Amino acid sequence: MVPDHYSEKVAEAIVLIWKSYDKTAMRRGYDLLTEAAREGDADAYCFLGRCHLGEEYVGSGGGFVRDERLASRYIAESIVRGSASGVLCALRTGDLTPELHAQMPFDSLKEAYASVLGLAEAGEAFAQYMIGNVYFWGDYLEIIGDEEAARFDSEEDYYAFAYPIAAHYYERSFRNGLTCGFGNYRSIYESDLTEIDFDTYAETLEMLVATGDPLIFNDYGKFLEDEYDDAEGLSPIT
């Protein structure tokens, strides 16, 4: 039976690594993942892999060494051990080789996707972020297969379908304190393919500033400068 939550150690590590923006806390989270992996936790291997994939996958504050070979080994191990999150991560990184696909204990990519979707619906912020990515980056097309994907006549047709779904899951992850998806969310907002209005976008930014993410501070300052000629944030948004 697939669990509907990450294990306690993995959940705590996610908070420390992806929500704290503090080097000591991030390193403590890494140690927790290492401990959980030694105990056989499949998801722990997935998140250890993400720690070594660079700033697109983990904040720079933890000082984790970028090592794509090591990351691939960790992610592969997570898949073999039954991590659906590892499967979606491997789709995103290009690590899901035919050989690894054959070893995963899922009948299909749809089954692995459904497992992560279950985590997202149960309230796991990182799973919500990953589901958003599935739609934003187009991994959904590989998951559903060529026959079902053929219903989209063009890239724009696909993104008109996918962006609102991606935005929904990113917004849920934001409300749970995870900021990772904001860059993609901004791209969705700027695309005019969703109903994200100016007020919603501004309120989302204001909410995320409270997390302490330095990248969000930069985004917020640019937003204030572009919209209000107020990069220092001296004037409230109304």
Please check the confidence at residue 236 and state whether its pLDDT lies above 50.
Answer: no
pLDDT 10s digits, 87-139: 999 999 999 999 999 999 999 999 999 999 999 999 999 999 999 999 999 99
Residue 111: its pLDDT value, please?
97
List, as own/partner pairs, every contact residues 153-159 make where C-beta atoms lie below 8 angstroms and the sequence separation is at least 24, other chains included.
156/193, 159/191, 159/193
The yes-or-no verdict on residue 234 having pLDDT over 60 is no
CA nearest to 129, candidates 85, 195, 194: 85
pLDDT band at 232 (very low <50, low <70, confident <90, very high): low
What length is written for the chain?
238
The whole-angstrom separation of Cα 68 and Cα 91 is 15
Q: Is the pLDDT of residue 237 over 50?
A: no
Q: Residue 42: what pLDDT?
A: 97
109 burial via Cβ count (<10 Å: 0-12, 13-18, 19+): buried
- What pTM, to 2 d.p., does this model score? 0.93
Q: ∠ CA(31), CA(33), CA(39), 5° rounding? A: 110
Query: Which residues fall within 8 angstroms of residue 123, CB to CB, at 6 or more apart?
Result: 176
d(CA 52, CA 49): 6
Domain boundaries, the chain: 1-122, 129-238
